Amino acid sequence: MMILTNAKVGAFLCTCDRRAARTFYGGTLGFTLIQEDDYALVFDLNGTALRISPVKDFTPQPFTVLGWRVADVPASVKALTEAGIQFARFDGLEQDGLGIWSPGGAIKVAWFKDPDGNILSVSNS
């Protein structure tokens, strides 16, 4: 059964601070806000809708919840850093000076957080 194979996927996050989320995703990351109502901010992430819903209390997950596959991780990290993004460091991972982890082969990944502490990433895989 292939009911969903042709359907577009959507992504969902929560925020305790709607204004900070709007500024971060729309301003800092540069995504287009396509809808805003009492229930959510909706951004267009290159054809994928990201719905960010306001909540009273929120505890972010301790793992990556949203990531972008990019052609050049070091260049992306440098550009995001210039935009004010601070990259996260994690105990037990050998990350380079930019915060990039290379677990082997050509794989590279770096993590950053949104204003609510959601862990986001850029990687080449």
Q: What is the mean pLDDT of each run of 10 residues along the chain (125 residues)?
A: 89 98 98 98 97 96 97 98 97 96 94 98 96
CATH 3.10.180.10 in the chain, residue ranges? 10-54, 64-123
Task: Identify the pLDDT of residue 20.
Answer: 98
Task: Identify the pLDDT of residue 2.
Answer: 83
Dihedral sign from CA coordinates of 12, 14, 15, 18: positive
> Check: CATH 3.40.80.10 for 64-123?
no
For the domain spanning 10-54, the CATH number is: 3.10.180.10
